[in-house]
Chain A
């Protein structure tokens, strides 16, 4: 069964550094998402992306964050200048249609540790 893949599985970075988290969504999916989960807490929505543009973003997704679909397969999340509080699991997801009509398929996440 097709799956969403995320790399790396674990990223350690120093405060103030830029990080790029990578995702390969399921090939025939059109909608893409990033979520994050701080250890032991809820899964928080960051951003949704469709037709090469952001369709929705949360308050968490400030100017430090950006997303890109650089080619036909990858979907990336960039954090420009990491802070300690950015330490979390970051999950990428994709869906065939919008989330109202179809389920989201999640990757296994990237654990980001900011020191």
Chain B
């Protein structure tokens, strides 16, 4: 399965601290995507990183990809209470890319 698995399952930090979430996957990928889900809402796309990229930034988000280790990390710097959400990595089901499969997610709680 292409499925990504996030680690840790849950993370609690204080506002201002950095949060790091990891994702491991099993087979080769074309890209890896990170999504965020606020409680009871739909998923929101954060970043797409391609297999030939090692690092990508978007505002306070930094994503790295290590294809040799089949892993990715999402770093949120200077976290805010509003960052409280679940974060998921996602990879394509197969080489044809007919579906996107999500991991179990990391639940991030940021307290003020």
CA A99 to CA B97, docked complex, whole Å: 6
B104 touching A42, Cβ below 8 Å: yes
B64 within 8 A of A: no
B31 touching A106, Cβ below 8 Å: no
B42 touching A4, Cβ below 8 Å: yes
Count, chain A residues at interface, CB 8 A: 27
Q: What total of A-B pairs shows CB separation below 8 Å?
A: 67
A42-B104, A45-B100, A56-B99 given; A91·B42 CB < 8 A: yes
Q: What's the least CB distance linking A99 to chain B, in Å?
A: 4
Partner of A42, one of B30, B44, B92, B103: B103
Partner of B48, one of A33, A41, A103: A103
A45-B99, A99-B99, A101-B97 given; A91·B31 CB < 8 A: no
B43 within 8 A of A: yes
A56-B99, A99-B97 given; A43·B30 CB < 8 A: no
A interface list, Cβ under 8 A from B: 4, 33, 35, 41-45, 48, 55-56, 58, 89, 91, 93, 98-109
B interface list, Cβ under 8 A from A: 30-31, 33, 35, 37, 40-45, 48, 88, 92-94, 97-105
